[in-house]
Amino acid sequence: MDVNEFRKRGKEVIDAIADYYEAVNDIPPMSTVSPGYLYKLLPHEAPETPESFDAIQKDLQTKIMPGMTHWQSGNFFSWFPSNSSFPAILGDMYSSMFDVVGFNWLCSPAATELETVVMDWLGKLIGLDRRFLSFKEDGTEGNGGGVIQGSASEAHIVAMIAAREMALERLKSQGGISSEDADKQRHKLVAYFSDQTHSSGQKAANVIGCKTTTVPTGDDFRLTKQALEQAIAKDKEQGLIPFFVCGTFGTTNTTAIDDLPGIADVAQKESLWYHVDAAYAGSALTCPEFRPLAAGSERADSFNFNPHKWMLTNFDCSALWVADSTHLVNALSIHREYYPKVEGDTAFVKDYRNWQLPLGRRFRSLKLWFVMRMYGAEGIRKHIRDDVTQAKWLANQLVADGRFELIVPVVFGLAVFRIKPEALSDPSKVNQANTALIKAINDDGRVFLVGTKLNGNDVLRAAVGSTFGTQKNVDLLLEILKEHATKVIADLE
């Protein structure tokens, strides 16, 4: 493909993308294909000779499109949203254009410096404590800073690696022991999660090879200070070494907010690394009215949220800040001669390869820069507030219907609910009713949502948050929920 053909085809692709987005709101979000459908449709060898763009374009429409789940459809209410937006797509196109591997400043000065700048912008936009920013009030460099990771799961691993480094340093200094002897204690390190912490916490622990203790939550699904203290005391009696705790701001199941100030107290007393996982709900902190809910997170060691979930930025863009980067950089920096040292004043230059697992990194700050400039704080806040209003409206309508109950109050964009036992002639069939309801809705295919299990109960989750969705989509969801609830309840009579 030469540049002239690229120019022509590129315009066609933009048109195809624009056509897709013009219709996306009303697309049934679920694919109806069966597992293995694509393997049967595609050749089993890569082509020997070049194929035409038209042939690929045709296959995209006829073979790929049927197997797509349309996350950008306004009728997609599953998991959490994965927002795309036109500014982010355009920013990402420029990132593809440059295609730099920006692992250090020399690799592309702008890629490194823009990331530092936009991560400070973003930190300020969500009211993050100043400790997490790269630059202090007076413009001098601080110890903290932000870095864009691919996912909250990577952020969890990176934070835990820094935590381990901090713990081993502490063992050495407090115990007056050698690095080797401190290293021998690694197997005693324990990370703390609640039974509602996202699976990425356990995965991070599996990756770094530490023990974990899962602390039970109560009816409000929050990790409390007391429960954490009890778990730690028990582990210490066994000779284990607590080193890391995750507090969640907006859990996956219910958007519960852990006792963040209480966890901060415990973390301080026990010298734990305190990671706040705000993967989904962190975007709400762009709106000042949500910030009191995150009190306590200002005392964390690391804070993470995903603009790629609910802040209009295409996947992947997970924002991680650390209050003090020393342990992280010590743990991850490895020198080789092929990473030449940058000359000049490098006070404000971050070596981002030492802030993440891979070496290479995409120019992801570009899309975030486009989003923050083209929406402005105002536009981002409007997106969040509209979604919260719609989710609360849905919840109110469900309660008003009389056959549904909320499992928790709606705080952000997620409604968690079920057909209530009293709506059934045999209340013991409540789980059966709710699993049948999820299945009926997804078999119907006009909207897509997933359920979860809480305290042994099957419940439904509807996450409102699509960039392009409107109240009309939520109206449709409500209509479908009511329609299928009637059938499910009748079937169980």
- Using DSSP's 3-state secondary structure scheme, residue 268 falls into helix
Which C-beta is closer to ligand PLP: that of 204 or that of 266?
A: 204
What the block records as the tokens of 39 is 């393997």
**Euclidean distance between CA atoms 478 and 402, whole angstroms:** 13
Q: Are the C-beta atoms of 81 and 310 separated by less than 8 Å?
A: yes
Q: Does 277 bind ligand PLP (CB under 6 A)?
A: yes
**Residue 361 region, left (φ>0) first, then alpha (ψ -120 to 50), else beta?**
beta
> Whole-number minimum distance, CB 41 to ligand PLP, in Å?
29
**Residues in 130-189 at the binding interface with ligand PLP, rule: CB under 6 A:** 151-153
* Choices 61-69, 272-280, 294-302, 346-354 (CB under 6 A): range interacting with ligand PLP: 272-280
Nearer to ligand PLP, 21 or 79 (CB): 79
Instruction: Annotate 128-169 with DSSP letters as a single string.
Output: --GGGSSB-TTS-B-S-EEEEES-HHHHHHHHHHHHHHHHHH
User: Of the two residues 120 and 258, which places its CB atom closer to ligand PLP in the complex?
Assistant: 258
Contact 448, 77 (CB under 8 A): yes
Burial class (CB in 10 A: 0-12, 13-18, 19+), 40: exposed
**Closer of 80 and 448 to ligand PLP (Cβ):** 80
**Interaction between residue 258 and ligand PLP (CB under 6 A):** no
Helix 365-401 × helix 109-125 angle, to 10°: 30
Q: Show the site string, 192-231: x = touches ligand PLP by CB under 6 A, - = not.
A: ------x-x-------------------------------
Give the total of residues touching ligand PLP (CB under 6 A). Answer: 15
**Contact flag: residue 452 with ligand PLP (CB under 6 A):** no
Q: Is 279 in the site for ligand PLP (CB under 6 A)?
A: yes
Among 306, 325, 442, 467, binds ligand PLP (CB under 6 A): 306
Q: Rule CB under 6 A: is residue 318 a binding residue for ligand PLP?
A: yes
**Cβ(320)–Cβ(147) below 8 Å:** yes
Three-state DSSP class for residue 257: strand
- Which position among 80, 192, 305, 321 is part of the footprint of ligand PLP (CB under 6 A)? 80
Pairwise CA distance, residues 30 & 27, whole Å: 9
SS3 190: strand
283 binds ligand PLP (CB under 6 A): no
Q: Is 280 in the site for ligand PLP (CB under 6 A)?
A: yes
Which of 84, 104, 224, 252 is close enough to bind ligand PLP by CB under 6 A? 252
Minimum CB distance to ligand PLP smaller for 203 or for 211: 203
Residues that bind ligand PLP (CB under 6 A): 79-80, 151-153, 198, 200, 248, 251-252, 277, 279-280, 306, 318
